[in-house]
């Protein structure tokens, strides 16, 4: 497995056009050896096209793709040494688990004498040792996903591509598998490129997240920086639950929301059209333990929704602007939420006061 851990990916000016339609527009991206990078974006953003170019299923109109020292731009899929996990797993129902995992070895005409050990090693990595003789129909959704992953790893590929492999699972199993995949990635040190439209999934699993929109790469960064320092209004609204409010510049480190002055700990972007990106969980109901140096907003509660582990509180500012905040679902936090119709004050730390270009 060491060879994979030393293999990075370099995409240079990749573009894909279908007549007048531009599916991918001059995307350049470097993925470090052993890195887990998610391609995130709405439908039509270009993330699946980019994955197809990496896998050899889509030929770019222009640009190059390198894996390690090798230019694979126009290499056929079976000569790229890339493992792929599809959205529907693409397992063969008439084959056993062991036969499914061994299929890439057969396709590459590797010596049959070594199949059993490689299959056993791959299944052990995904904690399915001893499942070689089971039928696919005997497996749960999570087990099938792990078989697909073992099949992608069995021939020790330089790179593993994953195309929304958890989307068919229920919420609880999907979240469990996210943690398992993250743990497995750390164990293997493999280079992984993962396509998803689920923001929380991308933030949970990735070393870095590449956000695409209309075929362009908008921002690539660590989950923390992507969430806390979005580069524009699209990223701010697409990552998490953000309310975007128009503000005006009021100095080097402050903006005005209506008549309310809000200070920020971050440099303000250039330009006159600015938006305050307010993440729901960054707003806190003012209490006796509130910090002194925070921004305060007065608002009126309009609705409180109970959502199990948290409560979503909707409110309006004095000028009628709607905002919302998310509070923990524990008893102490719930006691602090006023009834609908009541006034309340919420605070926003300058470190959480994010201003982006409109």
Question: Side-chain half-sphere of 300: how many Cα atoms within 13 Å?
Answer: 9
Average pLDDT over residues 62-91: 89
Q: What are phi and psi of 330, to 5 degrees?
A: -75, 165
CA dihedral (289, 266, 217, 32) positive or negative:
negative
pLDDT given at position 3: 40
Lowest mean pLDDT among 102-106, 288-292, 313-317, 343-347: 288-292
Instruction: Report the pLDDT averaged over residues 135-156.
Output: 89
Q: Are 197 and 38 in contact (CB under 8 A)?
A: no
Q: Strand pairing partners for 10?
A: 30, 66
User: Among the ranges 87-96, 155-164, 190-199, which has the highest mean pLDDT value?
Assistant: 190-199
- For residues 50 and 41, the answer to whether their CB atoms sit within 8 Å is no
Instruction: State the residue for tokens 């199949």.
Output: 115
Ordered domains of the chain (ranges, CATH): 2-228 (3.40.50.300), 242-357 (2.40.50.100)
Task: For residues 216 and 167, give the distance between their C-alpha atoms in angstroms, rounded to a whole number.
Answer: 24
Residue 207 has pLDDT above 60, yes or no: yes
* Confidence (pLDDT) at 319: 87
Residues 6+ apart with CB under 8 A from 348: 262, 278, 282, 283, 284, 294, 295, 296, 297
CB contact at 8 A, 252 and 265: no
- Among 13-17, 115-119, 164-168, the range scoring the smallest mean pLDDT is 164-168
CA dihedral 293, 203, 63, 26 (to 10 degrees): -40
pTM of the complete model: 0.86
Report which DSSP code applies to 305.
E
Q: What is d(CA 101, CA 300) in angstroms, rounded to the nearest whole number?
A: 59
Residues 142/113, Cβ–Cβ less than 8 Å? no
Which stretch of 1-5, 141-145, 278-282, 288-292 has the lowest confidence by average pLDDT?
A: 1-5
- Which has more confidence, 89 or 92? 92
pLDDT (tens digit per residue) in 293-314: 889 999 999 999 988 888 899 9
Alpha-helix runs per DSSP H in 194-256: 199-205, 223-228, 233-238
Q: How many CB atoms lie within 10 A of CB 308?
A: 6
């Amino acid at each position: 497995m060491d060879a994979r851990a030393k293999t990075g990916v370099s995409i240079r000016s990749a573009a894909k056009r279908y007549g007048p339609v531009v599916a991918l527009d001059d995307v350049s991206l470097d993925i470090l050896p052993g890195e887990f990078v998610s391609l995130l974006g709405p439908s039509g953003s270009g993330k699946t096209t980019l994955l197809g170019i990496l896998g050899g299923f889509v030929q770019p109109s222009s640009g190059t793709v390198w894996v390690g020292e090798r230019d694979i731009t126009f290499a056929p899929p079976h000569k790229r040494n890339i493992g792929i996990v599809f959205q529907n797993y693409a397992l063969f129902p008439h084959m056993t688990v062991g036969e499914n995992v061994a299929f890439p070895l057969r396709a590459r005409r590797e010596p049959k004498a070594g199949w059993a050990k490689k299959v056993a090693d791959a299944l052990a990595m995904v904690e399915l040792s001893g499942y070689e003789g089971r039928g696919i129909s005997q497996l749960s959704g999570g087990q099938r996903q792990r078989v697909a992953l073992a099949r992608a790893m069995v021939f020790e590929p330089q790179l593993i591509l994953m195309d929304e492999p958890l989307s068919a699972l229920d919420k609880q199993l999907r979240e469990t598998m996210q943690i398992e995949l993250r743990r497995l990635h750390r164990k293997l040190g493999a280079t992984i490129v993962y396509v998803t439209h689920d923001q929380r999934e991308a933030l949970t699993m990735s070393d870095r997240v590449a956000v695409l929109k209309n075929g362009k790469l908008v921002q690539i960064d660590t989950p923390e920086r992507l969430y806390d320092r979005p580069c524009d209004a699209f990223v701010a609204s697409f990552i998490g639950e953000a309310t975007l409010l128009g503000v005006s510049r009021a100095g080097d480190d402050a903006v005005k929301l209506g008549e309310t002055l809000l200070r920020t700990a971050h440099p303000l972007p250039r330009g006159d059209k600015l938006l305050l990106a307010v993440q729901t969980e960054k707003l806190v109901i003012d209490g006796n333990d509130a910090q002194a140096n925070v921004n305060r907003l007065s608002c009126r509660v309009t609705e409180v929704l109970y959502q199990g582990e948290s409560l979503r509180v909707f409110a309006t500012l004095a000028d009628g602007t709607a905002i919302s905040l998310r509070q923990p679902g524990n008893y102490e936090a719930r006691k602090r939420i006023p009834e609908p119709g009541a006034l309340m004050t919420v605070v926003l730390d300058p470190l959480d006061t994010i201003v982006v270009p409109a």
